[in-house]
Amino acid sequence: MRRIILLLLLVFGLSYGKGLKPYMFQLKDENGKTVRLEELKGNVVYLVFWSKTCHTCMEELPQINKLYHKYKNKNVKFFGVIIDEKNPEKIKKIKKEWGFDFPVLIGNDTVKNKYRIIGTPITYILRKDLTIGKIIYGAYSIKKLDRYIKKFLEEK
């Protein structure tokens, strides 16, 4: 059954939404600050949806953290969106244990449904005009992610 779902994702899901505007969420981060996606226009936005029970996420998020520090001051905004934990203190503890420090937004069912989150990790890379540039299901090479970020940064 998993293979069928993955095959359907590959066939139909990989191109879903490219060039479209995503749902303009408003979420709180682990420090209680409200983040409004629409206010990030002009930046490349990197959203990785993850869960505390995802072993792939545990390995990937520290790697993404390297990209976060590389692009921290270059009009790229990184956010992890956790879908299975609401407690800010627990989120901070997970971040410390897993070894990453980019901001985490506390997801909700609306965001989970609007972004079609059926498993984790799922990454959305948004262009500076906040249209969807790339959707990635599962883990992905950091080098390839870096290339997408560079490509979208260079766009006018």
CATH number at residue 10: 3.40.30.10
Amino acid at 53: T
pTM for this predicted structure: 0.87
**Which secondary-structure segment (H or E) carries 82?**
strand 76-82
Residues present in the chain in total: 156
Q: State how far the Cα of 60 lies from the Cα of 154, in Å rounded to an integer.
A: 25
Amino acid at 83: I
Q: Judge contact between 104 and 140, C-beta under 8 A.
A: no
Q: What pLDDT does 13 receive?
A: 46
Q: Judge contact between 135 and 108, C-beta under 8 A.
A: no
Confidence band of 19 (pLDDT split at 50, 70, 90): confident
Q: Name 77's bridge partners.
A: 45
Q: What pLDDT does 75 receive?
A: 95
pLDDT tens digits, one per residue of 29-59: 999 999 999 999 999 999 999 999 999 999 9
- In terms of residue numbers, what domain contains 57? 2-154
Instruction: Look at the chain and report how many structural domains it folds into.
Output: 1
Instruction: Report the SS3 class of residue 130.
Output: coil
Q: State how far the Cα of 136 lies from the Cα of 121, in Å rounded to an integer.
A: 8
Q: Judge contact between 147 and 56, C-beta under 8 A.
A: no
DSSP 21: P
Burial 106-136 (b: 16+ CB within 10 A, else e): bbeeebeeebebebbbbbbbbbbebebbbbb
- For a pLDDT cut of 90, what percent of the chain falls above it? 85
Q: Name 49's bridge partners.
A: 81, 122
